[in-house]
Amino acid sequence: MILLLLFVEQVFASHPQVCLDNAAETCYKGSWLTTSTGIEYRSFQGIRYAKAPIEELRFKAPEINDDPGGLVHVSAESKVICPQEIGDRSGYQVSEDCLFLNVYAPQVLDDETYPVMVFIHGGAFILGSGTYQDYNPEFFMEEQKVVIVTINYRLGPLGFLYLDPQEVNGNAGFYDQILALQWVQQNIASFGGDPGSVTIFGESAGSNSVAYHILSPASKGLFQRATMESGTAIDPAWPVLRLDQAERQGKYVLNELGCADLTCLQNESVDNLIGLLEHMSYWNAVWNTSYFPKDPKVLLQNGEFNTDIEVILGTNKDEGILALAYNIVDPTLWRYWQEQFETKVPFEYFGKYNQSDITEQDIKNIKRVFEHYVGNIENINDEHLQSLINSKTEAEYFYGTFATLDNFIKHGTIAFQYILTFVVRLRNFFFQDLRKLFLRENIHLLNGMEFLQWVLVMRMTYNTYSFLQTIF
């Protein structure tokens, strides 16, 4: 019995523990994790940063969590994800009460503070999580020189529904992210992190989120650096919603669920709300709101954003392959593009989400795009696949990146651009290999010949940007 007690005491003592500098004297008991090379680091998973966004808080901006006080156990792996449409839910705990974050920190502090990196996950604002299962910090922990934070935020209609400018303004998911960043500012020093050296970074929709926080006055002062990986605030195919578009989307939700007001929606089942994603998968920030006071293009052009930061932004070569995956798997779908060119293709390239939004100028511009890349509409086929990939990559990713970079530099923001490359055979390509494909990215120092090639690629890309400026 004595030996058992000693064993339990030793195990308990082996858990890392962090106490916050607050009145409630809250302490978090975490766990030790080990990288594949044997480096140990501290893990604190499932820290609540906001009240459960349920009942009367559903769809609204999050409220700060009451300090729990005492010892809080966060040693187990957090598997909680926000409600979303996912095929395989095994290994996850899907819950509307999902506003948690994870902190990973070096094993020994030595009275040193470390820079902080806060990761915002992607997933088109309808999928994903900050869980260890989706994004673990192993590679960052090898050097033992940084504190990593990953977060959950609300998705789909639960995170981005617009009903009115005050209580339900379409940006609840972004206010979730802001509250998580505020938590970092208040508490990360207790984990060895420096709140004055915070980098926010994200991929895809996470990158869009980073771009939005740079532009939003609500996020000012919460970070000093930002990394944008394949997503900006002005991507033509992924635009921020106008107020009228958001209002139309909100009315559709009400009608589909047979509701007349907010109270009805707050009493609706989560499954019914998430089920709407089958027919309305596009959710994004809404401008003309307190979060986004103006069109992001205007904010960028006028320098009305947080310019006192350092930024890295970029994309992947051939990233447009993702948007064309179904066509690659089934080339017969190109015929649909040809036959429905004036109605389908503007949706794909210009982010037009309602037929009434497509203008005659949009149709003229999209014809110019295809004349530029493949010659004509009849050349939309598998024989011109690389050119089609180029058109999607450059229109959807490169344009937004270059335009954002131009405005950053114009207004004095320190910014660096990158392009990641990968090699793939376009033939015999299967949709299920997409994940493997994007894991084949490689970064290395350039030798002289590679540098020359990079300069030529950048020159060509910039020339393409000049053309796309006349389109977008």
* Domains parsed from the chain with CATH numbers: 2-306 (3.40.50.1820), 319-469 (no CATH)
> Which token pair is 187?
């508490």
pLDDT in tens, 419-470: 887 554 444 333 334 334 333 333 444 444 555 555 555 555 666 777 888 8
Confidence band for 112, pLDDT divided at 50, 70 and 90: confident
Total Cβ atoms within 10 A of residue 303:
13
Residue 109's pLDDT is 65
pLDDT above 50 (res 394): yes
Residue 108's pLDDT is 73
Residue 433's pLDDT is 41
Sign of CA dihedral 103, 105, 109, 113: negative
Collect all residues with Cβ–Cβ distance below 8 Å to 397 and sequence separation of at least 6.
230, 231, 235, 315, 316, 319, 320
* 377 touches 341 (CB < 8 A): yes
The DSSP annotation for 319-376 comes to GGGTTTHHHHH-TTHHHHHHHTHHHHHHHHHH---SGGG--HHHHHHHHHHHHHHTSS
Residue 330's pLDDT is 92
pLDDT in tens, 82-106: 999 877 777 899 999 999 999 999 9
Report the C-alpha gap between 52 and 96 in whole angstroms. 7
Report the C-alpha gap between 394 and 397 in whole angstroms. 5
Mean pLDDT on 162-190: 95
% of the chain beyond a pLDDT of 90: 68
* 398 touches 315 (CB < 8 A): yes
Report the C-alpha gap between 81 and 92 in whole angstroms. 7
Residue 427's pLDDT is 40
pLDDT in tens, 22-51: 877 899 999 999 999 999 999 999 999 999
% of the chain beyond a pLDDT of 70: 88
pLDDT above 90 (res 246): yes
Report the C-alpha gap between 292 and 422 in whole angstroms. 35
Residue 110's pLDDT is 67
**pTM of the entire structure?**
0.88
* 303 touches 411 (CB < 8 A): yes
Residue 464's pLDDT is 78
pLDDT in tens, 275-307: 999 888 899 999 988 898 999 999 999 999 999
pLDDT in tens, 7-25: 333 334 489 999 998 877 8
Mean pLDDT of the chain, nearest integer: 87
Q: 424, 378, 23, 405: which is closest to 211 by C-alpha?
A: 405
Please state, in angstroms and as integers, the Cα–Cα distance from residue 193 to each residue in 26, 99, 186, 384, following that order: 17, 21, 11, 50
pLDDT in tens, 297-356: 999 999 999 999 999 999 988 899 988 988 988 999 999 999 999 988 988 898 877 777
Collect all residues with Cβ–Cβ distance below 8 Å to 368 and sequence separation of at least 6.
470, 471
> Which token pair is 371?
């004349």
Report the C-alpha gap between 397 and 234 in whole angstroms. 10
